[in-house]
Amino acid sequence: GVSKKILVIPGDGIGQEVTAWGKKVLETIAANYKHTFTFDEGIMGHVAIEATGDPLPDGTLEKARQSDAILFGAIGHAKYDNDPTLKVRPEQGLLKIRKELGLYANLRPIKLFDDLLQASSIKPEILQGADILFFRELTGDVYFGEKKRSEDRTTASDLMIYHQYEVERIARKAYEAARTRKKKLCSVDKANVLEASRLWRETVQAVAKEYPDVETEHMFIDNAAMQLIKDPKRFDVVVTGNLFGDILTDEASQIAGSMGMLASASVGDSVGFYEPIHGSAHDIAGKGIANPLASILSAALLLDISFGLKEESQRVIRAVDATLKQGYRTMDIANKHTPNEFVLGTDAMGAQVLKNLN
């Protein structure tokens, strides 16, 4: 067995409830496969502001640097959403840790579990067979460009900026992945309007020459947002910038039935960072009804990508699949028109997956 240190950062809102299950799944895998996973915990986001005044305390960042992988929950709180004038904000913690750890590539696999074919608002015949891997650039773009507010506070700006090397490295990662899949890559930008997008497109065009075996397509973001719903099967690997990736992957969650099903891996220079795509969901936080599967599937990605434990990772995915086959659903993936579904809360759902792991 291997010996690894995992940092768990539950964060805000439903992050607390669901991450507990991602962690339990890792513990169970360790026990079953005789690995030694040592867990530590860190705070980040609103909970960290409340405790220390800082959305990403130095202690958490230190622990992150010393871990072999990080399992994260979610970030955000209604208080800040309702008051845009607050200076210290939970999201700053997440943006800072992404930047500090050099997590420039955010992988978001979109795939529907067979038993959820009816859970989506999209027609089954449109969804069946869709399988998309998004590469979202994560440490550049308008997220990290200079922010300004005029003294009289009536003008505000953010700089959307990309450097060639940032586009190159994410494009390479995406092309490498495309080689192991259907050998199709779609790069999404707004090159008909934005200079940053024109650099993006030029750079991807140059990198494409190194991968003549992969078919490259360039698409404008507005068209991509449309095609994703119209014909999701046309996509294999999609690579795009930070902002467009944020929007497209949330939208793409409808292809997988629910946001509550989607995991993501952020990788780059060193340690890998795993998190559900869903946010803190204050409206349902604390109610025990959140879907723990995205956190559990984030744990599966962690096992695969950071630890190279492919069999263990597949074991987790099979346990999720089995749970869905048995008819167990959380609220977000329930379909009132389908008989033989049992709607469970977070803990009961997590417990079913654990059972199926044993």
Ligand X SMILES: CC(C)[C@H](C(=O)O)[C@@H](O)C(=O)O
Check: CB of residue 203 under 8 Å from CB of residue 164: yes
The site partner of 325 among its own copies, ligand X, none (C-beta below 5 to 8 Å per kind) is none
> Nearest CA to 261 among 248, 245, 278, 244?
278
Catalytic-role residue among 4, 23, 190, 328: 190
Per the annotation, the verdict on 250 as an active-site residue is: yes
Q: How many residues does the chain have?
A: 358
Q: Note whether 122 binds ligand X by CB under 6 A.
A: no
Of 85 and 358, nearer to its own copies (C-beta) is: 85
Question: Which residues inside 274-313 make contact with its own copies, applying CB under 8 A?
Answer: 279
Known active-site residue 269:
no
Residue 348: CB minimum distance to ligand X, A:
27
- Going by C-beta distance under 8 Å and a sequence separation of 6 or more, which residues neighbour residue 284? 14, 290
Q: In degrees rounded to 5, what are phi and psi of residue 180?
A: -90, 0
158: number of Cβ within 10 Å: 14
285 counts as binding ligand X under rule CB under 6 A: no
The catalytically annotated residue of 131, 158, 250, 321 is: 250
By beta-carbon proximity to ligand X, the closer residue of 54 and 91 is 91
Structural contact between residues 41 and 7, judged by C-beta atoms closer than 8 angstroms? yes
Q: What is the smallest separation between the CB atom of 23 and its own copies, expressed in angstroms?
A: 26
Residue 348 touches its own copies, criterion: CB under 8 A = no
Whether 80 sits among the annotated catalytic residues: the reply is: no
Binding partner at 270 among its own copies, ligand X, none, C-beta below 5 to 8 Å by kind: none
Q: Is 98 annotated as a binding residue?
A: yes
Does 192 sit near ligand X (CB under 6 A)? yes
| 76 is a contact residue toward ligand X (CB under 6 A) | yes
Selection from 220, 280, 225 nearest residue 249 by Cα: 225
Strands (E), 12-119: 36-41, 69-74, 105-111
222 labelled ligand-binding:
yes
Which residue of the set 222, 231, 269, 347 is catalytic? 222
**Is 250 a known ligand-binding residue?**
yes
**190 noted as active-site residue:** yes
Residue 262 contacts which entry, its own copies, ligand X, none (Cβ below 5-8 A, type-dependent): none
Q: Of 255 and 317, which has the nearer Cβ to its own copies?
A: 255
Q: Is 54 annotated as a binding residue?
A: no
Closer residue to its own copies in complex, CB, 22/257: 257
Residue 94 found at the interface with ligand X (CB under 6 A): yes
Handedness of CA 252, 257, 258, 259 (dihedral sign): negative
Residue 283 carries which side chain, given as an amino acid letter? Answer: D
Using an 8 Å Cβ cutoff, are 233 and 132 in contact? Answer: no
| 305, 19 contact by CB (below 8 A) | no
Question: How far apart are the C-alpha atoms of 130 and 112, rounded to whole Å?
Answer: 7
Instruction: List the single partner that 149 binds among its own copies, ligand X, none, CB under 5 to 8 Å by kind.
Output: its own copies
What is the spatial distance between Cα 62 and Cα 64, in angstroms, rounded to a whole number?
5
What Cα–Cα distance (Å) separates residue 275 from each residue in 74, 79, 278, 279, 356?
Answer: 7, 23, 8, 10, 22
Helix (H, G, I), strand (E, B) or coil at 306: coil
Torsion of Cα atoms, 168 then 141 then 185 then 300, to 10°: 100
152 assigned to active site: no
| CA dist., res. 56 & res. 47, Å (int) | 10
Instruction: Check residue 34 for interaction with its own copies (CB under 8 A).
Output: no
Return binding residues for Mg(2+): 222, 246, 250
Residues that bind ligand X (CB under 6 A): 75-76, 91, 94, 192-193, 222, 246, 279
Q: Active-site residues: which are they? A: 143, 190, 222, 246, 250
Give contact residues for its own copies (rule: CB under 8 A).
76, 80-82, 84-85, 89-91, 95, 121-123, 126, 142-143, 145, 147-149, 153-165, 190-199, 201-202, 205, 218, 221-223, 225-226, 228-231, 243-244, 246-251, 253-254, 259, 279
